[in-house]
């Protein structure tokens, strides 16, 4: 359980840094619906061609939601271990939605999420007992 806490804490710190503070002038273009999402308004604009953070407000809200859900998952894993399998299924569902949104809307976000995905796979593999 201590491994899960440490990994979740590291994932949370990483998400906060990459989605809120990390700045770059490099943008990975080519997401399927990237141009369409920009037309939806400032809530979805993540690249203006300047040295800046490449995550839109929607992505930042999703990062906060992911951190909250990971914290809730930790709580329920420790308090109700009999529901661990259901928690993993919910985590896989949420992770899949985030990956799908990142691939279709912002490839920078997708690349930033890859280390988180590895941590999630580790948590699920080690905690499966």
Q: Where are the domains of the chain?
A: 2-127
Residue-wise pLDDT for 3-17, tens only, equals: 888 999 999 999 999
* Residue in the block written with tokens 């979805």: 44
Nearest to 11 by CA among 106, 114, 111: 114
- C-alpha span between 124 and 106 (Å, rounded): 26
Which residues lie closer than 8 Å to 126 by C-beta, 6 or more apart? 3, 4
pLDDT computed for residue 89 by the predictor: 86
pLDDT computed for residue 4 by the predictor: 83
Beta bridge partners, 52, equal: 24
What pTM value is reported for the model? 0.87
DSSP class of residue 42 equals: G
| Contact by Cβ (8 Å): 35, 47 | no
Nearest to 110 by CA among 51, 28, 10: 28
Residue-wise pLDDT for 48-73, tens only, equals: 778 999 999 999 999 999 999 999 98
DSSP class of residue 23 equals: -
- C-alpha span between 27 and 29 (Å, rounded): 6
| DSSP string of 70-97, one letter each residue | HHHHHHHHHH-GGGHHHHHHHHHHHHHH
């Amino acid at each position: 359980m201590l491994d899960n806490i440490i990994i979740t804490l590291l994932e949370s710190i990483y998400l906060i840094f990459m989605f809120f503070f990390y700045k770059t002038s490099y943008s990975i273009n080519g997401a399927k619906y990237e141009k369409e999402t920009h037309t939806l308004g400032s809530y979805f604009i993540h690249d203006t061609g300047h040295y800046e953070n490449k995550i839109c407000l929607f992505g930042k809200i999703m990062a906060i939601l992911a951190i909250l859900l990971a914290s809730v998952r930790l709580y329920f894993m420790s308090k109700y271990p009999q529901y661990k399998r259901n928690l993993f299924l919910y985590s896989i569902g949420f992770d899949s939605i985030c990956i799908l949104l990142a691939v279709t809307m912002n490839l920078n976000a997708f690349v930033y999420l890859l280390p988180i995905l590895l941590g999630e796979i580790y948590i699920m593999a080690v905690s499966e007992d």
